[in-house]
Amino acid sequence: MVKKTFFKTLVAVSFSAALESVLFFSGCGSSLFTTSAHASSVLTSLIQQQGFADIVSQVKPAVVAVQVKSNKKKEEWFFSNFFSAPGMEQLPDQHPLKRFFKEFYDLDKPKNKFSPHSNRLRPIAFGSGFFISSDGYIVTNDHVISEGTSYSVVLDDGTELNAKLIGKDPKTDLAVLKVNDKRKFSYVDFGDDSKLRVGDWVVAIGNPFGLGGTVTAGIVSARGRDIGTSSYDDFIQIDAAVNRGNSGGPTFDLNGKVVGVNTAIFTPSGGNVGIAFAIPAATAKQVVQQLIEKGSVQRGWLGVQIQPVTKEISDSIGLKEAKGALITDPLKGPASKAGIKAGDVIITLNDEKINDSRDLAKRIANIRPGETVTLGIWRSGKEDSIKVKLASMPESEGKKEGSKYSTERGDSDETLEDYGLIVAPSDDGLGLVVTDVDSDSDAADKGIRPGDVIVTVNNKPVKKASDITDTIKNAQKLGRKAILLQVRTNEQNRFVALPIFKK
């Protein structure tokens, strides 16, 4: 949900001529920083350090600039916006940034009036990467290379070598390139990011704006960040200066180990503001290994649509803690075959507690297809367990159809005045169609709209308004504070908890 505050933008940090996807977030409040005698002594000790030169000299030769080309024609308007940015025209012609733009986009040449039919390779993206083996395997971001047909890397000494794409994984935004050369390359190892603490120093090296070998330093600002890019978000937030072109570059700890792969920045203007995100080394190491061995990543698939368990939802179903993953729709897959139903809450996986829906998605994905897992579930007010044999995650899901239900008012409409809803039986008899919603109601605040279908209330099917009111009365007898509605929107199921109205 987009909050009603000022917006900032999250962008991938590779240079690209293509339109980059953006997500919007609300601004964050400031916090009060206090000091003590102990904190002052620690700060003094840090100031007396000799810097990061020893670490940089050790790892910098393993970091490369990644150049991506394609024979597909790219629109230049996206770049033009950057070129016309304030201050850009004042740069001297020989400035590295201006040379980079001119070399890659030929903006100083007249527009071609003819449609290009040649297969000439054109530069389309610029990012970073790093060697993880002496025989030439390189880690970078998927969004850096995804549109390319030809790849090359520039080493720390300026040598340019052609590279081959070994594999990519859009779900984690990781990719592996391979350079075939007789030489032995300097490389770096993945470290243990689980030991990384908020406040620890980190060093980022990359290729921002085509300026290869750029070194910046900062601290770990936060762990486990979910920025809404996928179900597997678990980013390390750092305040080292990371800009466009840093994508795919490494973040090092003070032991010279890779603890993260830089992938995105949070910014109001497209430049660095001290909020960057890196893929944890543990995730990268696991994904990269599969990409090298198989060219793709195999993930366990449960076959369910899930959502978080809020406090209101836990109250409505009698669950003590607002934890676990609520099943909104068991798809045609392993879970439905094993007996998992919509409305079940998965609270444990192999006897380990599930914190939320994101936690379940990540842990299932880390289990190999074909393995059998034991799920602890909460159903109808009590615990149960079900064994499920995981399948392989499909490449993509089908598109959802639009709503097929009419929102026109009719004689069969019934009003649930206390909840701001007017409903009518659906044509197929499977639920109640919402024909109108009071804009000042809890239902409207929860996102219920005309055309939605209420399928169940507290996991009981409903066909008329009295089914809802009867369920509410039973919930009140059990001391529940809310009811749980299963709502279908454009063939997509979700659960909504509505507070019980007290007269």
Tell me the C-alpha distance between 97 and 307, whole Å: 45
Residue 161's DSSP bridge partners are 153
From the candidates 173, 253, 329, 359, give the one annotated as an active-site residue.
Answer: 173
| H/E element, 57 | helix 53-59
Tokens standing for residue 319? 């669950």
Residue 374's DSSP bridge partners are 387
- Binding-site residue numbers for substrate are 143, 173, 245-247
Main-chain phi, psi angles of 75, to 5 degrees:
-70, 145
| Contact (Cβ atoms closer than 8 angstroms) between residue 205 and residue 199 | no
DSSP H stretches of helix in 96-205: 96-105, 142-145
| Contact (Cβ atoms closer than 8 angstroms) between residue 237 and residue 276 | yes
Closest by CA position to 124, among listed 148, 156, 160: 148
From the candidates 16, 128, 247, 441, give the one annotated as an active-site residue.
Answer: 247
Three-class SS of 456-473? EECCEECCCHHHHHHHHH
| Contact (Cβ atoms closer than 8 angstroms) between residue 243 and residue 13 | yes
| Catalytic annotation present for 143 | yes
| Contact (Cβ atoms closer than 8 angstroms) between residue 366 and residue 338 | no
Tokens standing for residue 383? 């615990």
| Catalytic annotation present for 234 | no
| Catalytic annotation present for 466 | no
| Contact (Cβ atoms closer than 8 angstroms) between residue 441 and residue 415 | no
Query: What does the chain come to in residues?
Result: 503
Sorted by sequence, the CB contacts under 8 Å of residue 366 that are 6+ apart come out as 286, 299, 300
Residue matched to tokens 């919930």 = 475
Which amino acid is located at 147 in the chain? E
From the candidates 14, 143, 253, 442, give the one annotated as an active-site residue.
Answer: 143
Residue 152's DSSP bridge partners are 67, 162
Catalytic residue set: 143, 173, 247
